[in-house]
Amino acid sequence: MRDHLSDPSIIQVAVSRATAPQAAADDAASKINLPETRFVLAFVPGEMPGDEVAAALDTALDGVPVFGCSTAGQITDKGYETEALLLLAFPKKHFRCSSLMLAPLDPISPTALATTAQRHENEFQHTAGWNRLGLIFSDGVSQQEDVLVSTLEAVLSDLPIFGGSAGDSLRFEKTFVLHKGASHSNSAVLLILETDLEFQGVGFDHFLPSGAPLVITGADPEARKVYEINGAPAAEEYARLVGCKLGDLSPKVFAENPMLVQYRDRHYVRAISDADDAGALSFMAAIDDGLIMTLGKGQEILQTLETGLRRRDRRGERPDFILGFDCVLRKLEIEQKQLARAVSNILCSSRVFGYNTYGEQYCGVHMNQTFVGVAFFKSDQGYII
């Protein structure tokens, strides 16, 4: 069995750690063979101004289409980073691409979204023998990802869609996506890719349900706020359930004790971002009155990561690369446990490139504290999930 990691990669990976947008764009673009490139994905440090970096990339890439978003961290050839501009160049030989801008997200019109997405896919001529997938990059503070991805799943049912919410380095103030030389907030970009390569969907977390079910008895679904759990003030009841004092609630506690919801025989993470002074909990994914949930109990994170990334194609070969969308709350937990270097080593050995998100999208579901990705292989046997 050959190890593809020793062969030249399908994609070109370019990283710049320059802080000025134009300098970073020029530096990274200089490492890419532009004439052979179909499109570029750009994952941008949250501190970089969106308009400046979009214009800089448009100039530096000399007309090659660029898509992507601001992030809460990048996954580069060194593993986890926070201030690196990461460019992934996808070759003309193996990829075709069609893009669609979806705006505004708030307020969102599911009917208009469905009509636009369906028409867009129909107009993208299918290449015989090639397989399709979708990538979605969405504003990470819009709070509309649940409706967005469930609508796309319903109308584009034959298209597996993977993606992540944009970040802004944990400020939770303003994020952006990149499309046609500009940055856009309150927006999403849908990419429909065609490829002659085999690819597999990747999705896993490291939590199992623990303890008795609990019920959301007071919530504001639009704001993703929970005011009551089991008939008691939400933050107070959550603190009691996890065994800590109300005043000790923190991002660390939230990261290590998420709440889970069951959907289609699988549990998905609904992460808590903060508790306000009035005792309400803010969530990073859909929440509603009457929802039955359980607390999540963490498993060994290094082992679950290695197992989740252990992919093989039909010939037993490893992926050439994995495009990864990794929740920033996973990264926070990993750093708190002083495991960042070990995790970065695993990501590097598995050739994972991508970014840290404010939420992950996997085939119609928006979730948190999850690793979502697409593994691409050098074989041409199609799609497996």
pLDDT of residue 3: 39
> Is residue 294 within 8 Å of residue 267, measured between CB atoms?
yes
pLDDT of residue 123: 95
Range 163-188 average pLDDT: 96
The two tokens of residue 41 are 């994905």
Percent of the chain with pLDDT over 90: 89
Q: Which range is least confidently modeled, 99-103, 321-325, 330-334?
A: 330-334
Q: Is the pLDDT of residue 8 over 80?
A: no
Q: Is the pLDDT of residue 384 over 80?
A: no
List pLDDT tens digits, range 272-311: 989 999 999 999 999 999 999 999 999 999 999 999 999 9
Preceding amide of 104 cis, omega within 30: yes
Give the residue among 183, 188, 189 at the shortest CA–CA distance from 51.
183
Q: Is the pLDDT of residue 380 over 80?
A: no
Preceding amide of 233 cis, omega within 30: no
Q: What is the mean pLDDT of the chain?
A: 94
Q: Is the pLDDT of residue 358 over 80?
A: yes
Q: Which range is least confidently modeled, 21-25, 96-100, 136-140, 361-365?
A: 361-365
Distances (CA, A) of 133 to 49, 149, 193, 287, 375: 30, 14, 5, 28, 12
| Residues 207, 227: Cα–Cα separation, whole Å | 24
pLDDT of residue 4: 38
Q: Is the pLDDT of residue 385 over 90?
A: no
Q: Is the pLDDT of residue 381 over 80?
A: no
Query: How big is the chain by its Cα radius of gyration, in Å?
Result: 20
Q: Is the pLDDT of residue 1 over 60?
A: no
| Residues 52, 376: Cα–Cα separation, whole Å | 32
Percent of the chain with pLDDT over 70: 97
List pLDDT tens digits, range 228-275: 999 999 999 999 999 999 999 998 899 889 999 998 788 999 999 899
pLDDT of residue 7: 53
SS3 per-residue string spanning the chain? CCCHHHCCCCCEEEEECCCCHHHHHHHHHCCCCHHHEEEEEEEECCCCCHHHHHHHHHHHCCCCCEEEEECCCEEECCEEECCCEEEEEEECCCEEEEEEEECCCCCCCHHHHHHHHHHHHHHCCCCCCCEEEEEEEECCCCCCHHHHHHHHHHHCCCCCEEEEECCCCCCCCCCCEEECCEEECCCEEEEEEEECCCEEEEEECCEEEEEEEEEEEEEECCCCEEEEECCEEHHHHHHHHHCCCHHHCCHHHHHHCCEEEEECCEEEEECEEEECCCCCEEECCCCCCCCEEEEEEECCHHHHHHHHCCCCCCCCCCCCEEEEEEEHHHHHHHHHCCCHHHHHHHHHHCCEEEEEECCEEECCEEECCCEEEEEECCCCCCEEC
pLDDT of residue 9: 84
Report the alpha-carbon angle 44-338-237, nearest 5: 90
Q: Is the pLDDT of residue 190 over 60?
A: yes
Range 170-181 average pLDDT: 94
Give the strand order in the sheet containing 321-327. Answer: 79-81, 74-76, 352-357, 321-327, 371-376, 199-204, 383-384
| Residues 138, 163: Cα–Cα separation, whole Å | 8
pLDDT of residue 252: 84
Q: Is the pLDDT of residue 321 over 90?
A: yes
The two tokens of residue 125 are 């001529």
Confidence of residue 383 (pLDDT cuts 50, 70, 90): low
List pLDDT tens digits, range 98-152: 999 999 999 999 999 999 999 999 999 999 999 999 999 999 999 999 999 999 9
Q: Is the pLDDT of residue 166 over 50?
A: yes
Confidence of residue 314 (pLDDT cuts 50, 70, 90): confident
